[in-house]
């Protein structure tokens, strides 16, 4: 087996491994730990410079409530959900259909189209800032609405997702769709009843990935919206920074709240990440 | 029961012609087997009949109706794939009924049909399982069940047994034949297994490079091959070929072997020149010491003796270096390095022209 399992290493190697794992883990998690601690400190505690010690008072309930009372955090969260959910659903719907067509249908220009999808992924998104903003203001009047972000994210994420789905679907045996075709099943139903159930792991993985991308987006939230009614939580965190004094404890609490949905989704989707779904389709 | 008629069928992938102007008639209820070397177009031809590949040229009719442009589902055919192509996320029952469920068929009728198919194929205890929980043979039966449930007039099989082990292959072969008798449907079956072709077929179609080499019953093809290709393709171990020169001799022709010796055949009006003499391994006879036979005697040495139990296959090298295969009784005592005398009887020989056409088929079966 390669690499050799660590259990088979010499004692010194095993010891080094056992020692290194916690160290790396702590370094890795330290920032997160700091934020979590900060989010339950009091402002005085912070102004005294106690960044790493135990908080003098646990202000968890107070701080987390303040996040919602001192800023339109509830609104921002709702906006984020209203942007992210439709964008993710739309992206997955479009990319799985486009991916299927590119993977399984022979038509002129298939490869060229696929190349464009790949190429699109290499366009740095900063380049798009001015044109997309202009487009949203002058051509499709969506500027400063939730739909501006939904439409943009959908368009932007579909490129990578199509590439991913196409490559995943290419591995499905042609004979599955052919067998259904011989039975007179329509292409749409083949897609729905045969193809989609078999790419569920890919869809779940993409769902988490794309959800996290869109949910965490800050750049486009600044470029495409400016009013509270459409602002997602990432851009909204600014509102917590405080008028005169930086309220680090509130910003930390807000950041953790903003990060929670992605983590939650990951655990919810985990049971779908099973591979080997096509097991038993063929000789095996 | 329906017949299948292919007229001037051709298939091109872009510029690459795979099937050339092919005519074939499969009679109603017939079991027709396509054989041929890998890449000769067997699967392509089958898929054209199924409607999975467009027909570039020519016409296809099934049961007298033109099906050239008819969508696969309306052709009255069902196909069993080499890879089985079972839907992994569905149970056996769902796999079998999927096509029917997607049509307007009433539920009760679907259940009745699935139950009947499961009963015929002994799948009833497995109906709730997923394909991944089945053995290879069981998967194969589910694949056949999925074809049967449509009650097609023509069954198409693309190497359905090639993924099974030898014992299961034999058993499934018998089962498919039983099914053929029971259903009376026309079946077209692709294989490159000789034994399957010989034992199952009413009619064998030998294909090579997208053309039909010969069509006939298994024994016709075995004993009266039309050409060198068919002679060499059917039969295992394969036919021995010896280079020879024809010298006309009145009403007869004398065949001089490159390695010395000659045989005389009644073959009026043959051109002289190069030719190939063919003889099957079972028609070569070992001459034990002192024995005499009517025919040509070749001396050879044994390279390898394969003792198969019921028979022994001797791999020989003739004195001129030609490799020969000889089939003899199971208890043959010859071993590697032995010098042997081999008798070639003219009645068992086939003679082929330089272009591969058969000039003469031996009369000894
Ligand atoms: N989609 C395709 N595009 C281009 N060429 C193809 C395509 N499908 C098959 N071919 C070519 O057609 C020829 C016949 O292929 P086919 O699959 O019919 O062979 P086969 O007789 O079934 O062989 P095997 O015994 O290996 O299954 C091959 O040369 C193959 O490369
Ligand atoms: Mg094939």
Domain containing residue B186: CATH number: 3.40.50.300
Quote the pLDDT of residue B294: 80
- Which residues on A lie below 8 Å from B50 (Cβ)? 182
Quote the pLDDT of residue A52: 82
Claim to verify: residue B122 and residue B144 sit in the same structural domain: yes
CA distance A50 to A47: 8
Distance B50 CA to ligand 2 centre (A): 14
Tell me what the mean pLDDT of segment B146-157 comes to. 93
Nearest-atom number in ligand 1 for the CA of B190 is 22
Q: Does the beta carbon of B13 lie inside 6 Å of ligand 1?
A: yes
Which ligand minimizes its atom distance to the CA of B158?
A: 2
Claim to verify: residue B197 and residue B261 sit in the same structural domain: no
Claim to verify: residue B167 and residue B242 sit in the same structural domain: no
Tell me what the mean pLDDT of segment B115-120 comes to. 92
- Give the domain extent around B350: 237-360
B145 touches chain A (CB under 8 A): no
- How many domains in chain B? 2
Q: Give me the percent of chain B exceeding a pLDDT of 90.
A: 68
Domains of chain A, by residue range, sit at 6-67, 71-279
Claim to verify: residue B228 and residue B242 sit in the same structural domain: no
For residue range B304-336, list pLDDT tens digits in order. Answer: 999 999 999 999 999 888 999 999 998 988 889
Claim to verify: residue B118 and residue B24 sit in the same structural domain: yes
CA distance B198 to chain A (A): 25
User: Mean pLDDT across chain B, nearest whole number?
Assistant: 91
ipTM here: 0.82
* Chain A residue with minimum CA distance to B164: A283
Claim to verify: residue B185 and residue B100 sit in the same structural domain: yes
Q: Any idea which of A58-72, B38-52, B99-113 has the lowest mean pLDDT?
A: A58-72
CB-closest option in A176, A183, A277 to B99: A183
Show which of B205, B232, B259 is a domain's final residue.
B232
CA distance A3 to A24: 20
Interface contact flag, A284 B136, Cβ < 8 Å: yes
Claim to verify: residue B155 and residue B81 sit in the same structural domain: yes
Interface contact flag, A280 B85, Cβ < 8 Å: no
Taking CB atoms within 8 Å and a gap of at least 24, the contacts of B255-262 are: B255/B351, B257/B296, B257/B320, B258/B320, B258/B322, B259/B298, B259/B318, B259/B319, B259/B320, B259/B321, B259/B322, B260/B319, B260/B320, B261/B296, B261/B297, B261/B298, B262/B296
This prediction has a pTM of 0.83
Show which of B178, B198, B232 is a domain's final residue.
B232
Q: How far is CA A82 from the centre of its chain?
A: 15
CATH, domain range A71-279 = 1.10.3720.10
Q: Does the beta carbon of B210 lie inside 6 Å of ligand 1?
A: no
Q: Is residue B365 part of a domain?
A: no
For residue range B160-173, list pLDDT tens digits in order. Answer: 988 888 888 888 89
For residue range B272-289, list pLDDT tens digits in order. Answer: 788 999 999 999 999 887
Q: Are A41 and A55 contacting, i.e. CB atoms less than 8 angstroms apart?
A: yes
Which CATH number belongs to the domain containing residue B328 in this structure?
A: 2.40.50.140
Claim to verify: residue B227 and residue B246 sit in the same structural domain: no
Q: Is the dihedral of CA B109, B115, B116, B121 positive or negative?
A: positive
Show which of B174, B206, B232 is a domain's final residue.
B232
Tell me what the mean pLDDT of segment B144-151 comes to. 91
For chain A, residues with pLDDT lower than 70 are 1-3, 242-244, 274-284
Claim to verify: residue B216 and residue B355 sit in the same structural domain: no
- Which residues on A lie below 8 Å from B134 (Cβ)? 280
Q: Does the beta carbon of B192 lie inside 6 Å of ligand 1?
A: yes
Q: Is residue B195 part of a domain?
A: yes
Claim to verify: residue B29 and residue B146 sit in the same structural domain: yes
Claim to verify: residue B76 and residue B175 sit in the same structural domain: yes
Tell me what the mean pLDDT of segment B27-56 comes to. 94
Interface contact flag, B81 A183, Cβ < 8 Å: no
Interface contact flag, A184 B132, Cβ < 8 Å: no
pLDDT band with cut points at 50, 70 and 90 for residue B137: confident
Quote the pLDDT of residue B270: 65
Q: Are A159 and A120 contacting, i.e. CB atoms less than 8 angstroms apart?
A: yes
- B108's enclosing H/E stretch is helix B107-120
* Chain A residue with minimum CA distance to B163: A283
Claim to verify: residue B178 and residue B287 sit in the same structural domain: no
Quote the pLDDT of residue A242: 67
Instruction: Count Cβ atoms within 10 A of the Cβ of residue A50 and give its class: 0-12 exposed, 13-18 middle, 19 or more buried.
Output: middle
Q: Give me the percent of chain B exceeding a pLDDT of 70.
A: 99
Quote the pLDDT of residue B181: 92
């Amino acid at each position: 087996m390669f690499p050799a399992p660590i259990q088979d290493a010499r004692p010194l190697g095993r010891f080094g491994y056992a020692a290194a794992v916690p160290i790396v883990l702590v370094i890795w998690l330290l920032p997160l730990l700091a934020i979590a601690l900060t989010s339950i400190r009091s402002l005085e505690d912070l102004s005294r410079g106690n960044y790493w010690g135990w908080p003098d008072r646990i202000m968890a309930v107070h701080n987390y409530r303040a996040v919602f009372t001192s800023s339109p955090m509830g609104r921002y969260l709702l906006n984020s959900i209203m942007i992210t959910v439709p964008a993710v659903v739309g992206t997955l719907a479009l990319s799985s259909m486009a991916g299927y067509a590119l993977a399984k249908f022979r038509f002129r220009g298939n490869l060229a189209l696929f190349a464009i999808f790949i190429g699109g992924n290499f366009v740095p998104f900063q380049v798009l800032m001015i044109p997309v903003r202009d487009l949203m203001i002058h051509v499709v009047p969506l500027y400063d609405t939730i739909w501006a972000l939904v439409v943009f994210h959908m368009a932007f994420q579909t490129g990578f997702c199509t590439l991913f789905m196409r490559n995943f679907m290419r591995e499905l045996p042609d004979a599955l769709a052919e067998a259904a075709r011989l039975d007179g099943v329509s292409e749409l139903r083949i897609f729905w009843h045969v193809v989609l159930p078999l790419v569920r792991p890919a869809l779940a993985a993409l769902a988490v990935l794309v959800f996290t991308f869109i949910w965490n987006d800050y750049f486009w939230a600044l470029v495409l919206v400016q009013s509270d009614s459409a602002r997602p939580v990432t851009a909204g965190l600014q509102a917590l920074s405080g008028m005169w004094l930086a309220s680090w404890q509130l910003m930390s609490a807000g950041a953790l709240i903003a990060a929670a949905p992605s983590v939650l989704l990951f655990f919810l989707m985990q049971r779908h990440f099973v591979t080997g779904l096509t097991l038993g389709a063929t000789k095996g | 029961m329906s017949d299948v008629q292919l007229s001037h069928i051709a298939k091109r992938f872009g510029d690459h012609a795979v099937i050339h102007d092919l005519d074939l008639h499969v009679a109603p209820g017939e079991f027709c087997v396509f054989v041929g070397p890998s890449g000769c177009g067997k699967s392509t031809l089958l898929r054209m009949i199924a409607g999975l590949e467009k027909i570039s040229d020519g016409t296809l009719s099934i049961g007298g109706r033109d099906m050239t442009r008819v969508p696969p589902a309306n052709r009255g055919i069902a196909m069993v794939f080499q890879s089985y192509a079972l839907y992994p996320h569905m149970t056996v029952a769902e796999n079998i009924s999927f096509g029917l469920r997607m049509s307007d068929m009433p539920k009760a009728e679907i259940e009745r049909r699935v139950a009947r198919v499961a009963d015929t194929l002994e799948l009833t205890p497995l109906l709730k399982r997923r394909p991944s929980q089945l053995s290879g043979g069981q998967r194969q039966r589910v694949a056949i069940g999925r074809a049967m449930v449509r009650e097609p007039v023509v069954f198409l099989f693309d190497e359905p047994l090639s993924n099974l082990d030898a014992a299961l292959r034999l058993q499934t072969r018998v089962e498919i034949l039983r099914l053929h008798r029971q259903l009376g449907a026309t079946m077209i079956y692709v294989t490159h297994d000789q034994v399957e072709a010989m034992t199952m077929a009413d009619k064998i179609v030998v294909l090579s490079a997208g053309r039909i080499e010969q069509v006939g019953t298994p024994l016709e093809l075995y004993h009266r091959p039309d050409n060198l290709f068919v002679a060499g393709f059917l039969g295992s171990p394969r036919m021995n070929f010896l280079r020879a020169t024809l010298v006309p001799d009145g009403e007869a022709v004398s065949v001089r072997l490159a390695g010395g010796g000659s045989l005389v055949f009644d073959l009026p009006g043959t051109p002289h020149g190069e030719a190939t003499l063919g003889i099957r391994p079972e028609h070569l006879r070992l001459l034990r010491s002192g024995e005499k036979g009517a025919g040509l005697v070749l001396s050879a040495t044994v390279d390898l003796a394969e003792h198969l139990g019921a028979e022994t296959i001797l791999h020989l090298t003739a004195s001129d270096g030609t490799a020969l295969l000889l089939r003899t009784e199971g208890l043959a005592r010859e071993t590697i390095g032995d010098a042997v005398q081999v008798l070639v009887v003219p009645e068992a020989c086939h003679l082929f022209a330089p272009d591969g056409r058969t000039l003469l088929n031996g009369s000894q079966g």
